[in-house]
Amino acid sequence: MRLVVLISGRGSNLAALLSAAAAGTLPARVVGVLANCADAPGLETASAAGVPTRALDHRLFADREAFDTALAEAIDGFAPDLVVLAGFMRILGDRFVRRYAGRLINIHPSLLPAFPGLHTHRRALAEGVRVHGCTVHFVTPELDHGPIIVQAAVPVLDTDDEAALAARVLAQEHRIYPLAIRWFADGRLRLCDGRVLLASVQSDGGVLIAPQLVAV
């Protein structure tokens, strides 16, 4: 399966996907990496792995729609089966999202629907939650509210600061993102009435509700 990965920064989830693909645990190949920042460190990670890259600076476009159009053209040039957002810090317009409906996924550093948007770890600590985590979901026009594929939870410790909690969550992101993409690549994910179902691997072809939580 052909993946295009969109990034804005260091690309740690991109590195996790590249590692899983190289190890043979992810039946997919990253065929292109696009960034909205020319200095995104993740571009170097991709280049070192032999993956073609391209930077599209969103600040050089007249408006969001113009950027989305150029981004879609660049994506389509790689003919991907799945478009993967991995720390892509730009809100995508409705037309763009609908263009890739059902084959556009994101990983978010909270247990959605809690804490959509930015600064999730800081907000989790401020609210005093005892469990935090991350979510892989299909992208829809409503920000951070698409159908959930899988989540992973971590405890919030009394000694946690924002950096410590973020590191614990990031380790789980690297675990569940390749898992969700493998399910997609294997043709096991189904969207039904706004929920994700996971087809069983049994010979009867039964359908199960996708696991909503992966234990640490």
Q: Which residues are within 8 A (CB) of 135 and not within 5 positions of it... i.e. 6 or more apart?
A: 107, 108, 110, 111, 112, 148, 150, 151
Q: How many CB atoms lie within 10 A of CB 3?
A: 26
Q: Catalytic site residue 132?
A: no
Query: Side chain identity at 136, as an amino acid letter?
Result: V
The catalytic position among 108, 121, 132, 174 is 108
Backbone angles phi, psi at 27, to 5 degrees: -80, 65
CB 208 within 8 A of CB 200: yes
- What is d(CA 28, CA 156) in angstroms, rounded to the nearest whole number? 33
Q: Is 74 exposed, middle or buried (0-12, 13-18, 19+ CB in 10 A)?
A: middle
Q: Beta strands 53-55 and 207-209: pairing type? A: unpaired
CB 102 within 8 A of CB 191: yes
Residue written as token pair 């609210």: 127
Beta bridge partners of 35: 7, 55
Q: Which of 112, 110, 116, 91 is nearest to 6 (CA)?
A: 91
- Which residues form the catalytic set? 108
